[in-house]
Structures are given as C-alpha cells and as structure tokens.
Amino acid sequence: MTTTQSPADSVAGTVKVLAFDIFGTVVDWHGSIVREMQALHPAVDADAFALAWRGGYQPAMARVMRGEQGWTLIDDLHRGILDEILSRFGLAHLSEPERRHLNRVWHRLDAWPDSVEGLTRLKTRFTITSLSNGNIGLLTNMAKRAGLPWDCVLSAEVFKAYKPDPATYLGVAKVFGLAPAEVALVATHHDDLAAARGCGLRTAYVERPHELGAAHPKDETPQPGNDLHATSLVDLARMLGC
C-alpha cells in the first residue's frame, strides 16, 4: 500500500529546527523605517528613503563576500549606505549622534502582526532560530523589543559569511548536529530559499506582499521548489500542527 504524505506532514515529521530569515520575513523593515522617518524628518519621501537604504544592502554584502573588504557587520554596512544616501534626501546636515540613532532603527524594527503568535506556537514543537545577515546584537535587541521568542540567535556573524553562502545554511545544521534535511529555512525571499534548498534544507515561503510598502506589492505566486507556502507565520504554525 502506498501512503501519500502531505508536504506539511513530511516537514513536521522530519524537521527539528526552523531557521528564520528576519528582514521582511519576521519584521517589517519598510514600514518601520517609513514610520521613523515620518516622525523624525516628515519632509523626506520616506518610502523612497527606505527603499534606497535597503537597496544598498545586497551590494554591500557582496563586496564583503568578494573579499574587497574584511568581515564587516551589518550595523557598519547599514551606516556606510546611510552616509552615502543622506545628501540625496536633503539630510547631509545630520550630526554624528543623529546618524548613529537613525542607523539603530534596524534594531527597532516592528514585527509583522502575526510573527509573535506564529513563532510562539512553532516553538512548542520545533527549535526556532534566526538565520539572518543581521548581526547578533541587532537581532537580540530587536527580539527583546518586539518579543520574538527565539530559542537561539544565529547570524551571519557566527559563520563569518553572508547568505546565500552555503556556510550559513549548513552552519545551522552543524550547530545542532543535524542533517541538512532536518532543518527548514522560513523566508519571504525565493533566492534565499533556493540557496538553502541547494544545501539540502527544507524550505517554507511566507507571503509578505507589503514587504516593499503598500505601493510596491510583491508577486506572491507560489513557486514549485518550496516544500511549504504559507500566508503568515500563524498559517505556517497551523500547517505544521502547532
């Protein structure tokens, strides 16, 4: 007799550790930066500012991974991008303490409304960890403020490599003494999930249609490669029986 197991049952039966992408997946970077800018500098186009800041992120990490600069934490990469874009938004006059405060907005990002409940439920059955390019201090400060109940805070900083480097995905499995297929990456980015899948991890996509702001909706069409496709972290918890 052949029994057909659903992808959710297969993941629930095999996976021990859920590793979560953070920026966009668990927290709303665009909305948080927009709200902060509207409060501090209401004359600035906050939507364009948030997108410009985030737009420098992948190129900055790529420079580090090509060896053009030594290992550099995201806090410092964020600061470098900020210093580059400020004049474009009429903010070249910001003082050093003002720049430092603004740069820490990445430690103060708000969770999506379903994140705390979803993670809390998933934690009852799985070990839940961050797997973010954000540094450990940033992720810990963010979690404490937003109430994200991690079992463990893993970061590119632990592996000295940025996603999508295989050292990050395989690093999670190694930390827990598990096979790659016993770890699932949860993310709202298909490139991140594809890289994890290439390392043998299971993958769960989470819809975040407004990651780039309500004015720039994302295409949330399910992609065939992912094991699971959830509309939220609460939906993922439901699918996995938590």
Residues that bind its own copies (CB under 8 A): 75, 127, 129, 135-137, 139-141, 143-144, 151-154, 157-158, 175-177
CB of 19 to its own copies, least distance (A): 12
What's the gap between Cα 157 and its chain centre? 14
In the complex, minimum distance from the CB of residue 141 to its own copies, in angstroms, rounded to a whole number: 8
Q: How far is the CB of 174 from its own copies (least distance, A)?
A: 8
> Among residues 50 and 139, whose Cβ is nearest to its own copies?
139
Q: How far is the CB of 75 from its own copies (least distance, A)?
A: 7
Residue with Cβ nearer its own copies (41 or 125): 125
Report in angstroms how near the CB of residue 171 gets to its own copies at its nearest. Answer: 10
- Which CB sits closer to its own copies, 137 or 200? 137
139 versus 236: smaller Cβ distance to its own copies: 139
If the CB atoms of residues 107 and 208 are measured against its own copies, the closer one turns out to be 107
